[in-house]
Amino acid sequence: MFGRAGNQGERSHALECRDHRIGRRGRYFTVTRGNLAHREGKNKNQKQEKVRQEPSFFIYGDFAIVSADMFELKRQEGHRRWGTLTTAHGKIETPFFMPIATKGAVKTLSSADMRELRAQILLSNTYHLLLRPGLEEMKRLGGLHKLMGWDGPILTDSGGYQVFSLSGAKLSARGGSAFGGNKTSEDGVEFQSHIDGARLKLTPELSMEMQSAIGSDIMMQFDDVAAGDSSYERYEEAMERSLRWAKRCKEGKTGQSKLFGIVQGGTYEDLRERSASGLVDIGFDGYAIGGLSVGESREDAYRIVKNLAPSLPGDKPRYFMGGGMPEEIVYYVHQGVDMFDCVLPTRNARHGTLFVWSEDPNLISWDENKADFYSKLHITNETHAFDSSPVDAFCDCMTCKTTSRAYLRHLFSVGEMLALRLATIHNLSFYLRLMLELRK
């Protein structure tokens, strides 16, 4: 397992994080790498003489409160965490799920719909917005919040994964520093646009500039993404390059947006540990677990997250990128992950697959292996042709309050666009309700 081992006596009296340890009697400990500095303070806001900002801790009973510039950890049980993340466009309760608004919109839905669904934050993508409308156009438009009429927080992916997955020919896992139509160098990635075939180049500095133009509340570092079945050498190469790019991203970032580093290393724990340690040395506002939605097995993903997540700095938010069947989210929350995004709810909805509760979510007792709390409803099946029941008896979304299974099946069968909208509303409602239940 990653992180400091500590001694058993100390563990019985302290809640331990990677860089910080919290005592039980109103004492707080600040830990700097290679040195444990212990101070007792009566006031949790007491100033400390540190070069970099340190969080402060206070204990109420068995619950630790961790305050930092961006993230407040309110409660922790085992590795599972409850907290609040503060951005320029509002506070977000953790753990949370980010609906995907890749090009500035969640497919089939409006920003008003997302407010109605009580989405706390949306995710958009630098790669797609760099291609259209473009960097200078985005600056002239005043940023994405203004363009799409969304006043909540926005997180932007850096574009690294999309360069990996969308441009040029099918990518080879064994291609070293050149993948199909892509050419990766120390400077950045030259790639072929999936729209018109134009040759373009994306660098850490350009990614930061574009994310700044978007007005992102949370930026992601530009990273080198290796395919899920890559060799150890390719994973190591991508991890080391991503660390160098992470430093360039931090140096190139302007404005008040928060910046997250991305832990890489594939399914190799030693590479993950080296990546995490290097990112913490650089220092970021949060840390993401990347490179685990590119073809690896669920068992490998679970193993990496279980070992990695609890070792990341306890006073910073932790983000699992790009993956998330409902039961996977439940598992990762129990390992200490705070943030999630995934295309599954919206993509499955457009293909007629809906997530439905197997029981009243208010009555579910959650544990890390809980997986029987939902099922998949294939609405286009013949069995629903005369079914007058709602899509989900335990859901109160607009779709379930107004639409029968028979009607929704009919809309899909005749190709009505309304079918996609109604299904998307329901699936996002399911995911957002799942996170609400996990926050209780």
Q: Within this chain, do residues 243 and 334 fall inside the same structural domain, yes or no?
A: yes
Q: Within this chain, do residues 177 and 238 fall inside the same structural domain, yes or no?
A: yes
Q: Within this chain, do residues 325 and 369 fall inside the same structural domain, yes or no?
A: no
Q: Within this chain, do residues 247 and 192 fall inside the same structural domain, yes or no?
A: yes
In this predicted model, which residue has the larger pLDDT, 194 or 68?
194
126-144 residue pLDDT tens: 999 999 999 999 999 999 9
In this predicted model, which residue has the larger pLDDT, 264 or 14?
264
Q: Within this chain, do residues 123 and 35 fall inside the same structural domain, yes or no?
A: no
Average pLDDT of the residues in 56-63: 37
- Residue 334 pLDDT exceeds 80: yes
Q: Within this chain, do residues 103 and 186 fall inside the same structural domain, yes or no?
A: yes
The reply to whether 28 falls in a domain is yes
142-178 residue pLDDT tens: 999 999 999 999 999 998 777 767 654 333 443 444 4
Quote the CA–CA distance of 429 and 117 in Å, as a whole number.
Answer: 6
The reply to whether 231 falls in a domain is yes
Average pLDDT of the residues in 33-45: 36
**Which of 286, 308, 342 corresponds to the end of one domain?**
342
Q: Within this chain, do residues 277 and 156 fall inside the same structural domain, yes or no?
A: yes
> What CATH number is attached to the domain comprising 136?
3.20.20.105
Q: What pLDDT is stored for residue 10 in this prediction? A: 35
- Residue 404 pLDDT exceeds 70: yes
**Which of 300, 321, 342 corresponds to the end of one domain?**
342
**Which of 293, 312, 342 corresponds to the end of one domain?**
342
The reply to whether 108 falls in a domain is yes
Q: What is the mean pLDDT of the chain?
A: 85
202-242 residue pLDDT tens: 999 999 999 999 999 999 999 998 888 899 999 999 999 99
Q: What pLDDT is stored for residue 166 in this prediction? A: 63
The pTM of this model reads: 0.84
Q: Within this chain, do residues 48 and 92 fall inside the same structural domain, yes or no?
A: no
Q: What pLDDT is stored for residue 57 in this prediction? A: 39
Average pLDDT of the residues in 283-303: 94
Q: Within this chain, do residues 358 and 294 fall inside the same structural domain, yes or no?
A: no
Enzyme catalytic residues: 157, 341
- Residue 60 pLDDT exceeds 80: no
- Residue 86 pLDDT exceeds 90: yes
Domain that includes residue 47, residue range: 8-67
Structural domain total, the chain: 3
Lowest mean pLDDT among 64-78, 102-116, 225-239, 378-392: 64-78
